Amino acid sequence: MENILLLEYLCQEHTNLTDEEIRTIEDISRNLPLIADLNQANVFIDCPTKEGKYAIVVAEAVPTTAKSVYKNPVVGKFAYESFEPAVFFTLRTGKNMFLNRALTQEGRTVEQSVVPIKGVHNQVIGTLIMEKDISEKLYHQDKMKALSEATETLSEILIGMTTDRPIIPEVIEEALFFIDPQGSILYYNPAAINLVSEVCSTDCTFGAQIETYFPCLKDVFYSPEELLVTELEILRKSFQVKKISLGQKAEGTFIIFRDMTELREKERELVLKSVAIREIHHRVKNNLQTVASLLRLQMRKGVSEDSKVHFIESLNRVLSIAHVYEIILSNSSVDDVEIYSLIEKIGNMLVYSGDVEHKDIKIKYSGPILTVKSNKAVSMALIINELIQNCMKHAFVGRAKGSIEVSFGVTKGSLFLSVTDDGVGYNAAAIPSLGLDIVKMMTEHDLSGKFSIRSNDVGTIASVKFPIERE
């Protein structure tokens, strides 16, 4: 009963489903435990959210006949298209998707099948999803593939060794040793000679114990694993070490060293650069917040009504740029900004937190999941701020309420952004606006795009379009 009540609450709170459609979802949810046990899989119902940007898990069942894919319940969590494309494909098209691979919110690879749930008018109101954990299956597949490739390569190596033509091991960059079950070296290639000389300052000789040169290999060599890949630190250098046992018939083991020092150093440099960039973004955001606080403080100290409007406009511009860095710091990427979140933050700040003279102004947003680099995001933030602020200032003069719609998308390699209101319309003969001058300048000079503004049937529409460069 609690599950049904929770399902009903989630559907009412986050979706546009009717009461009849919610009843349909509830009827299906009652059978989820049986479906989960029968298929030895986790089963879920996802429904599209009101804005269509995400899907939300409204019901789930964990099998008692198999291990669950998830450690924690996922009812009430949002699903994203980047992780579960099959779910969104089915929501949009109403088509089935079977045995599709997906990544769970806990980072596990699963085999996912999705079928649509349809309402009385045959429209898709949700999806029924079955997921099975295939992480272990993929691990064994990769292991077998690697073992197969290694066996094929080693067969060629062995043929070369027996015909006194060891062509392959002579030219590969990795240090290669062939060792008997007692740990004695039976073969080594030129790269192995150089490695021993570098690490031990001595010559590599046939019959010597591999542990004499590399004591750290003891655990690797005596490991029961036929194929083992690990990483070791030797003389402050990083090596990837592969151990390949050829089994009882061949009675030998290959040990292969690959120098990973340069790669690991580059990885460390990238991490340090990422940390430094995030720290710079954090300081920029804090500095912008400080400027905003100083502007607010100056306004509290007393400014004339004529000056107050200019202070508010400047404050909004500073905060719009600060939102760019807030979004960067909340993401894993150090330079990508999600446009929908940026528009939403700026729009809500201006409409719901600003001085709207007690007017009832509504704002809504529409657009795909799309990111741009931070330099373009700063320009976009100022453009969005000026266009919405222009609506708030001029569109609803003499009116008690109004609405604004901000939409964006991509077409033919260009990003378009439009801000539409149902206000009094655009007066081209009016006194030039600083805000619109800023929009025009930033669109043309910073984004190499075009800006236009005109009256439409019910108000004003302002549009910006600029090319998206592939980076």
Q: Per-residue confidence at 147, pLDDT binned at 50, 70, 90? A: low
Same domain for 228 and 188: yes
Domain span including residue 184: 168-259
Q: Are strands 253-259 and 237-245 parallel, antiparallel or unpaired?
A: antiparallel
Predicted pLDDT at 261: 84
Q: What is the pLDDT of residues 294-305, one digit of tens each?
A: 777 877 777 776
Going from the C-alpha of 281 to that of each of 109, 154, 417, the distances in angstroms are: 33, 51, 25
Q: Is the pLDDT confidence value at 164 over 60?
A: no
CATH number of 288's domain: 3.30.565.10
Question: SS in 3 state form for 169-218?
Answer: HHHCCCEEEEECCCCEEEEECHHHHHHHHHHHCCCCCCCCEHHHHCHHHH
Position 174 in a domain = yes
Q: Are 175 and 233 in a shared domain? A: yes
Number of structural domains found in the chain: 3
Strands 401-411 and 360-366: parallel
Position 141 in a domain: no
Q: Where a domain ends, among 191, 225, 259?
A: 259
How many residues does this entry show for the chain? 471
Which residues does residue 19 pair with via DSSP β-bridges, in sequence order? none
Classify residue 156: in a domain, yes or no: no
Same domain for 224 and 333, yes or no, is: no
Phi, psi at residue 113, to the nearest 5°? -120, 140
Q: Is 395 domain-assigned?
A: yes
Residue 162, pLDDT > 50, answer no
Q: Is residue 157 part of a domain?
A: no
Side by side, the strands of the sheet bearing 401-411 are 360-366, 401-411, 414-421, 460-467, 450-455
pTM over 0.85: no
- Whether 146 is in a domain gets the answer no
355 pLDDT above the threshold of 60: no
User: Do 322 and 404 reside in the same domain of the chain?
Assistant: yes
Rounded to the nearest angstrom, the gap between the alpha carbon of residue 383 and the centroid of all alpha carbons in its chain is 26
Inter-helix orientation angle 339-352/305-330, to 10°: 150
Of 220, 239, 259, at which residue does a domain stop? 259
> Residue 258: which residues within 8 A CB-CB, separation 6 or more?
173, 174, 175, 239, 240, 241, 242
Provide the CA 260 distance to its chain's centre, in angstroms. 27
pLDDT in tens, 276-296: 767 776 787 777 788 878 777
Which two structure tokens, joined as six digits, stand for 46? Answer: 């996802």
Residue 120 sits in the same domain as residue 173:
no
Q: What are phi and psi of 99, to 5 degrees?
A: 55, 40
Whether 26 contacts 45, CB under 8 Å: no
| Segment among 205-214, 276-285, 433-442 with least mean pLDDT | 276-285
* Together in a domain, 114 and 244: no
Which CATH number fits the domain that encloses residue 108?
Answer: 3.30.450.280
- Asked if residue 163 is part of any domain, the answer here is no
CATH code of the domain containing 192: 3.30.450.20
Establish how many alpha carbons lie within 13 A of residue 239's alpha carbon, considering only the half-sphere containing its beta carbon.
23
Question: How many other C-beta atoms can be found within 10 angstroms of the C-beta atom of residue 284?
Answer: 18
Task: Give the residue-averaged pLDDT of 430-445.
Answer: 83
Q: State residue 4's pLDDT score.
A: 86
What are the backbone angles phi and psi of residue 456, rounded to the nearest 5°? -120, -160
**26 & 173 share domain:** no
Q: Do 424 and 308 sit in the same domain of this protein? A: yes
Banded pLDDT at 159 (limits 50, 70, 90): very low
pLDDT of 157 higher than 60? no
Which pLDDT does position 281 carry in this prediction?
67
Q: Are 436 and 299 within one domain? A: yes
Which contiguous run of DSSP H or E holds residue 227? strand 227-234
Of the three residues 259, 291, 320, the one that is the final residue of a domain is 259
Find, among 363, 360, 384, the residue nearest to 372 by Cα.
384
Single out the residue of 132, 83, 99, 92 nearest to residue 116, CA to CA: 92
In a domain, 76, yes or no: yes
Identify the weakest region by mean pLDDT among 36-40, 106-110, 442-446.
Answer: 106-110
Examine the domain organization and report whether 386 and 324 are in the same domain: yes
Any residues with CB less than 8 A from the CB of 187 and at least 6 apart, and which? 161, 166, 169, 176, 177, 178, 206
Same domain, 243 and 298: no
Q: Is residue 225 domain-shared with residue 269, that is, in the same domain? A: no
Give pLDDT tens digits for 185-204.
888 888 888 888 888 888 88
